[in-house]
Each structure stands twice: as C-alpha cells, then as structure tokens.
Amino acid sequence: QTVVTQEPSLTVSPGGTVTLTCASSTGAVTSDSYPNWFQQKPGQAPRTLIYSTSNKPSWTPARFSGSLLGGKAALTLSGVQPEDEADYYCLLSSGGARVFGGGTKLTVL
C-alpha cells in the first residue's frame, strides 16, 4: 500500500512564504497522481484548496498555489495570513484508490 508523507509541522511568520510537500513511497509524484490539497481548521470539515496538481476551486485565495517540485507535490502559501493556521492534507491517486498524507500542522507565529 502506498504511503504518502508530509511534514508533520511547519511554522511561518505572518506575511511569509511556506511550502508544504507531499511525497509518495512508490516514487516521484506526477500529474498522473492527481494531487489534491485540503485545509482543515479545528472543529470544521475539510475544504478543498487545490485539485489535479494546481487547479483551484473558486473559493481558494490567490496566495495558495499547487505544483510539482523535486518529485513531490507542493502547496505554497505566499503572504501567509493568521487565518491560514490549520492542518493541511494532500491526497494522491494510487491505482484505483486514493491515499491521504498524514497532514501538516501549519502554525502562523
């Protein structure tokens, strides 16, 4: 079974830039893995930020961007806001199934 790995935690200053990554145990993440990114705040349901590597639903702020970086999927936040403090999860395709990463707890401090 594919294991998807994310940084357990990251800290960023308000206004700064941070990149979260998502790696697959089976090798390089490509667009064929259809990377998705989700944000979840305490006590709330997740919400979709990025789908299919870099596409954004209408509600995703422009400061969020998705890409492929060094064989991993990446989520970059530019100009971080205090309200971006949350857990972030990536999701990769693995054959017919999908697998979530363990999540990254982003602290804005």
Binding site for other proteins (CB under 8 A): 1, 38, 40, 45-48, 51, 57, 87, 89, 91, 96-103
How far are the Cα atoms of 3, 4, 41, 72, 92 from residue 25, in angstroms, in the given order?
5, 6, 27, 11, 11
The nearest distance, CB 98 to other proteins, in angstroms, is 4
In degrees, to the nearest 5, what angle opens at C-alpha 40 toward C-alphas 37 and 43? Answer: 165
Which residue, 70 or 96, is less far from other proteins as judged by CB? 96
Taking the complex as a whole, the smallest distance from the CB of residue 14 to other proteins amounts, in Å, to 26
Query: What residues are paired with 96 via a beta bridge?
Result: none
CA distances from 61 to 3, 56, 64 (A): 29, 9, 6
In whole angstroms, the minimum distance from the beta carbon of 31 to other proteins comes to: 17
Residue 19 or 48 with smaller CB distance to other proteins = 48
Decide whether 47 or 63 has the Cβ nearer to other proteins: 47
